[in-house]
């Protein structure tokens, strides 16, 4: 049983005009086996929250806490956070020139487990995870994210999640740019991980569509750097019908 606690988190970025506060006091608790949807308009700070949890150096934590089973995550380097069981699927995955998917996955697995995976089982695990995600075996020999389509990038993120078996997975707009078939395949991957490893999922999305495939236990509406409203799946249905307008006008 793992708990990720985010307490009154304030985060700024450096801009040409000085420090700009993006996160303005985020409170959120995610436990193993739970799926939390974070839904909010563009620019509300969803990716900033994801990157702050994962430890991106661009973001300055000005106050607040992030605790993984009581351990201070904000004191950890990026790789320590990954080893502690935190996984981030980025909204815009980056290219890793000269590194194949196959090598990348094995290196990441070795770093996280502290030992190289047993070759025979590993090859089998990769093969079956790729089959499940309907990925061509040739994909394993391509360089990470180089020339990948939007859908291939997202499948590759979920492939990583399935093989690395994190305790907490932050999925930043894993649904964006996917057609219906790809969305279903990617969602099935997340649901498999939920069943097999009890991973706690923070599912960041702009649209309600993915929530037809991955059922959230909790929905948090994210507006202007903090949680504006929380509820169960019914909240997503209301957002589908009403959009974010009422939160934005309420703010003005
Ligand atoms: P979301 O993922 O919800 O669309 P982001 O976290 O990407 O939102 O961005 C939140 C806000 O922070 C936006 O207004 C964005 O322009 C601003 N922002 C993010 N990074 C920077 C940066 N490096 N410099 C200036 N503004 C930034
Ligand atoms: Mg955005
Ligand atoms: Mg974003």
pLDDT at 250: 61
Q: What is the pLDDT of residue 16?
A: 92
SS3 sequence, the chain?
CCEEEEEEEEEEEEECCEEEEEEEEEEEEEECCCEEEEECCCCCCHHHHHHHHHCCCCEEEEEEEEEECCEEHHHCCHHHHHHHCEEEECCCCCCEEEEEHHHHHHHHHHHHHCCCCCHHHHHHHHHHHHHHCCCCHHHHHCEECCCCCHHHHHHHHHHHHHHHCCCEEEEECCCCCCCHHHHHHHHHHHHHHHHHHCCEEEEEECCCHHHHCCCCCEEEEEECCEEEEEECHHHHHHHHHHCCHHHHHHHC
Q: What is the tens place of the pLDDT at every residue in 146-174?
A: 999 999 999 999 999 999 999 999 999 99
pLDDT tens for each residue of 71-83: 999 999 999 999 9
51 versus 248: the higher-pLDDT residue is: 51
For the chain, domain boundaries:
3-92+152-251
Q: Is the CB of 163 under 6 A from ligand 1?
A: no
pLDDT > 90? residue 201: yes
> Ligand 1: distance of its center to the CA of 43 in Å?
5
| Å from CA of 207 to ligand 3 middle | 12
Is the CB of 225 within 6 Å of ligand 1?
no
In this prediction, residues 117-143 reach a mean pLDDT of 95
Measured in Å, residue 147 CA sits from the centre of ligand 3 at: 21
Residue 108 has pLDDT above 60, yes or no: yes
Does 1.10.1490.10 match the CATH number of domain 3-92+152-251?
A: no
What pLDDT was estimated at residue 252? 54
234 φ, ψ to 5°?
Answer: -65, -25
Q: Is the pLDDT of residue 187 over 90?
A: yes
Its ipTM equals: 0.94
Q: Has this prediction a pTM greater than 0.90?
A: yes
48 lines ligand 1 (CB under 6 A): yes
């Amino acid at each position: 049983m793992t708990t990720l606690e985010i307490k009154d988190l304030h985060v700024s970025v450096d801009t040409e005009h000085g420090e700009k506060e993006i996160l303005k006091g985020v409170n959120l608790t995610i436990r193993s086996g739970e799926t939390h949807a974070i839904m909010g308009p563009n620019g509300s700070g969803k990716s900033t929250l994801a990157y702050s949890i994962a430890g991106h150096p661009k973001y300055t934590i000005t106050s607040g806490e992030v605790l993984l089973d009581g351990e201070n995550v904000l004191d950890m380097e990026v790789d320590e956070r990954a080893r502690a069981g935190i996984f981030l699927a980025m909204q815009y995955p980056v290219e890793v020139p000269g590194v194949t998917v196959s090598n990348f996955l094995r290196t990441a697995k070795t770093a996280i487990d502290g030992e190289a995976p047993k070759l025979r089982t590993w090859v089998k695990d990769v093969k079956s995870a790729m089959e499940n995600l309907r990925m061509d075996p040739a994909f394993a020999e391509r360089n990470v994210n180089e020339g990948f389509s939007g859908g291939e990038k997202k499948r590759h993120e979920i492939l990583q999640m399935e093989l690395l078996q994190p305790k907490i997975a932050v999925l930043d707009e894993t649904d964006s740019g996917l057609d219906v078939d790809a969305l279903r395949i990617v969602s099935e991957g997340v649901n498999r991980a939920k069943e097999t490893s009890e991973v706690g999922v923070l599912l960041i999305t702009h649209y309600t569509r993915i929530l037809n495939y991955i059922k959230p236990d909790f929905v948090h509406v994210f507006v202007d750097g903090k949680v504006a409203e929380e509820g169960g799946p019914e909240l997503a249905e209301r957002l589908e019908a009403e959009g974010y307008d009422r939160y934005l006008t309420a703010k003005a």
